[in-house]
Structure 1
Amino acid sequence: MRLAALQQARDSDDREANLARCLAGIRQAAEAGARLVLLPELHNSRYFCQTEDPACFDIAEPIPGPSSEALAALARELGVVIVASLFERRAAGLYHNTAVVLDADGRLAGRYRKMHIPDDPGYYEKYYFTPGDLGFTPIDTAVGRLGVLVCWDQWYPEAARLMALAGAELLLYPTAIGWDPADDAAEQARQRDAWLTVQRGHAIANGLPVAACNRTGFEPDPSGRGDGIHFWGSSFVAGPQGELLAEATVEQEQLLLADLDLARSETVRRIWPYLRDRRIDAYGDLLKRFRD
């Protein structure tokens, strides 16, 4: 199966124009033979969570809604599966950071609401997003059972493991992550390397391919108080032994393509049977915040 990750930059909050760019990229991916297309996190706008501004809630939309319906129509036309990332308005005062999966027939196959919500300088997501309540449930599609997670979720081995235990065949991460421009080059390199390493570790520990689609480019803090974020791109696809199958650049927009053999997971898990050897009788302390 050919997978495409659409790494893009955002220099405008024109939602219709941004969505149109995504639709054009999906069309290009389909022309290149992709059957599954992954978009970056919150792709319809710049990353508004750099500041706390109640006006930003106006960006949110219901699901189904205009964006999901436009994506569904294109999925149906092209016969591809699309994983998109939307600011969901569930009800007045209730919003989620939500990934939607549009199946190859245009059906809304499912959604995943981001479970781990950060609250750090430049990433004030707790102000905007209610933590997800749909659990770690894979979504069945024409190309397989997808374990969809979102950005901050990618640092948590528990999330990847629970998706794998529920039968996910592939882990997908729409992402918006970057550097504080005030950090020096060495610190920036450590952060990017940690990001790549932890996700490749999820692939290895679960015997599954992993794909992450990040945005790229610099986005200023709209409040003017912070230094902005330099998104580090580097979207990638790794196989079930953590091997890099494709990796995008840091600075450039890119349509990243990778060919996946989903049957390899069976072979890998036979020689590295981590699921067989898990000591589920001894993991009770994982339900504690910390073991004092």
Structure 2
Amino acid sequence: MSRKITVAAAQVGAIDLSTPKKDVVERLVKLLREAAEKKVQLVVFPECTLTTFFPRHLIGLQEELDKFFEHGEDITQSPDVKPLFDEAKSLGIDVSVGYAERTPDGTGYNTCVYYSASEDKVLSKYRKVHLPGTKEPFEDPDAVNQLEKRYFTPGDLGFQGFRVPSLVQNVVKKETAKEGESTIGKGDPIMGMLICNDRRWPEAWRVYSLQGAELIMFGFNTGGNMAHLWGSKPMSLEKAKTEALFHSRLVQQANSYMNACFSISSARCGLDDGKYDLIGGSAIVSPEGHVIAEAKTEDDELVVAEIDLADCVQGKTRTFDYGRHRRIETYGLIDKQTGVVEPDLL
């Protein structure tokens, strides 16, 4: 049963520390209008889409820090971002958008939401679970910092898969499903969201996979040279950036294959403030792990592909067939231990 949809990663280029959100949103709307011209049904925007990636900066004043966050329960009504959601509704395009969220109790989260144009509401919210980096900046003044642990709290919403209406026609609904008949690959699309560093953690993908996820979306802000953060060997800036891009693509392709799902990655990239280099590499990957479409620049760019969610069925029911082949009685350490505990020395 063919279930085709046209999707896009909306890559976003350089944003400086002083760039107003209004200017960024205008760029996002421009990408959305380009998507409409190409008959795109779903656009995925990057992590912390609306500003520069502020966790690289040490920001002391709370009032100054709060400018980078969105406040209030409903992001679609935020004065800064409402024009984007209004445009999405007008064009009939679903969007996934990443942003810094400040809850009413003052907690900060690295968050993204899925907005359905047909329903005119947020269908799902995800908060980043795997926060990289440090709380304090590195002593080396030339180091590129990553202070997400300072500004954000680990996500508390888990990995909740969700169905999306109106993207695929003639699907099986609850009221039309026949008793006893398999509905795998016949209903509305099942999706999940991750954010940046989450993509490196196979546990996150697998939890979505066990809910039947057919499409995983994630945005990222990944430095081209994060030697201090990763503790990597000294290397040229060019080689470090090549490695960062390789690893970003590696985890997307491998996890798409191992979980028999499509994936869309969207980069916030470019040279922020003329000095902070972020990789591009936005891509759409198939359930067989192949790159279907990818970015060619480190600027604002729309990466578009038509995908058929029916392509997920073979991997889910044949190659892996999790229900028959997973051996959960052997995986005990996965949810009982965090750090490494080596066997006793000989």
Fold agreement, TM-score > 0.5 = yes
Letter in 1 for 2:341: R
SS of 1:2 mapped into structure 2:
strand
Partner of 1:225: none
Q: Letter of the 1:217 partner, please give it.
A: G
Moved more, 6-15 or 132-141: 6-15
Question: Counterpart of 1:161?
Answer: 206
Q: Superposition pairs for residues 123-272 of structure 1, below 5 Å?
A: 123-142=146-165, 143=167, 144-180=189-225, 183-184=235-236, 185-220=238-273, 228-272=275-319
Q: CA RMSD of the aligned region, Å?
A: 1.9
Report how many residues are paired. Answer: 286
Give SS of 2:117's match: coil
Among 97, 105, 124, the alignment partner of 1:84 is 97
- Distance, in Å, in 2 between the alignment partners of 1:179 and 1:190 is 8
Kept in 2: contact 1:206–1:274 (CA 8 A): no
> TM-score with structure 2 length normalisation?
0.78
Distance apart, 1:234 and its partner CA: 0.9
Distance 2:276 2:325 in 1: 42
The aligned runs of 1:101-116 (5 Å cut-off) are: 101-105=114-118, 106-116=120-130
1:33 to 29, 33, 39: 39
2:23 aligns with: 17
- Greater relative contact order: 1 or 2 (C-alpha under 8 angstroms, separation 6 or more)? 2
Other structure's SS at 1:100 match: strand
Q: Which amino acid aligns with 1:95?
A: G
TM-superposed CA distance for 1:16, in Å, is: 1.1
Q: Deviations over 1:194-226 (max 9, x none)?
A: 1111111110100001110002211249xxxxx
Larger strand proportion, structure 1 or 2?
Answer: 1
Distance 2:65 2:153 in 1: 15
AA paired with 1:125? Answer: E
Equivalent residue runs for 1:38-117 within 5 Å? 38-54=44-60, 55-62=64-71, 63-64=73-74, 65-66=77-78, 67=80, 69-105=82-118, 106-117=120-131
Give the structure-1-normalised TM-score. Answer: 0.92
- From 276, 284, 287, the counterpart of 2:332: 284
Structure 2: which 5+ runs fail to align?
Answer: 135-143, 168-188, 228-234
Pair member with larger Rg: 2
Post-superposition offset of 1:164? 1.2
The separation in 2 between residues aligned to 1:229 and 1:278, in whole angstroms, is 43
Instruction: Identify unmatched segments of 5+ residues in structure 1.
Output: 222-227
Q: Among the aligned pairs, what percent are the same residue?
A: 28
- Deviation of 1:193 after TM superposition, in Å, equals 0.8
Check the 8 A contact 1:122/1:229 in 2, yes or no. no
Q: What is the distance in 2 between the residues matched to 1:74 and 1:139? A: 23
Letter in 2 for 1:176: N
